[in-house]
Amino acid sequence: MIRVAVIGGGVAGLSAAAHLAANAEVTLFEAEPHLGYHASGRSAAMFEENYGNAAVRALNGASREWLESSDVLTPRGIMMVGLESEIADFETDLAGMGMREMPVTEARRQVPILSDAIVRAAIHEEACDIDTSRVLDLFGYLVSDRWGRILRGAEVVGIERTDVWTLRTRDESFAVDVVVNAAGAWADRVAGLAGVRPIGLQPYRRSMARMPAPGGHDVRGWPMLFGPGESWYAKPDAGGWIVSPAEEDPVEPMDAWADDMVLAEGIARYQAHVAEPVRRVETSWAGLRT
């Protein structure tokens, strides 16, 4: 049986390992003590099939059947709201994301905190929340239930190629036939370890703030909100409310944290679209998009 090493324990690595483990002996290496630590576990956890570039949208479409059949999606919807100064970006996103324009009065009925300054609104009802923890658990179970194993806290520190690939962690060496590089922000560094030319992957930080539900509203049935040009977004989360500046600031691979100034600027952009003031931030964090 062919031996495969998968480096990286996020959704990409786990899903690859789960499918490969049906016909191969798979070992997944995750440097952190927990799976999905850097990107998969820190995202807004939304499935919007029309989001991203052409390649991402193709992957979105190919993923939908599995996501729907695995009971990991919950209807949420995504709403764009725009100011007079944002009309050009609004028109671009309206066409590019296949959204339905709606009367601002209808948008305000769904999300009563919207500012009187909102002049355009659109929605895509098919966007869904993703239960990220369940996705990780399902793929992790498939890996272990098939011809696979998951090694946590197992940073790969060396890769050599002879007639096979030899991977070294700080404790052991492993011989495999195929290496899958799913290391996310660290993928170019892993390529360098293997003597493979890096392809120029760049991690970008994105920050998030959690706060109480605005105005004490029950936000559980509200859609995700975003500003034209993805200048910010907000969505319900565990009875509360999360807001992101939606920034894409280039950084080195790291255990990312939110930049307070960037977060404040993003909250200000969000605040310009709503009538309910942000009174308190409970916690903040950041993840890496590569």
**CB 39 within 8 Å of CB 287:** yes
- Check residue 52 and give its pLDDT: 87
What is the SS3 assignment for 113? coil
Rg over alpha carbons for the chain, rounded to the nearest Å, is: 21
Eight-state DSSP code of residue 278: P
Which amino acid is it at 49?
E
**Residue ranges for the chain with pLDDT beneath 70:** none
Q: Do domains 3-45+131-193 and 78-125+204-289 have the same CATH topology?
A: no
Q: Provide the pLDDT for residue 145.
A: 94
Name the pTM for this structure: 0.91
* Cα 36 from Cα 8, distance rounded (Å): 9
Are the C-beta atoms of 90 and 230 separated by less than 8 Å? no
Find tokens 């029309």 and name the residue: 50
Q: Locate tokens 């807001």: which residue? A: 243
Domain ranges of the chain: 3-45+131-193, 78-125+204-289
Superfamily covering domain 78-125+204-289: D-Amino Acid Oxidase, subunit A, domain 2 (3.30.9.10)
DSSP string, 176-225: ESEEEE--GGGHHHHHHHTTPPP-----EEEEEEEEPPGGG---TTPPEE
Sheet hosting strand 148-152, strand order edge to edge: 148-152, 25-30, 3-7, 178-181
End-to-end CA distance of the chain: 33
pLDDT tens string 215-247: 999 999 999 999 999 999 999 999 999 999 999
Write down the pLDDT at residue 286. 97
pLDDT at residue 41, as a whole number? 87
CB 32 within 8 A of CB 186: no
The fourth-level CATH superfamily of domain 3-45+131-193 is: FAD/NAD(P)-binding domain (3.50.50.60)
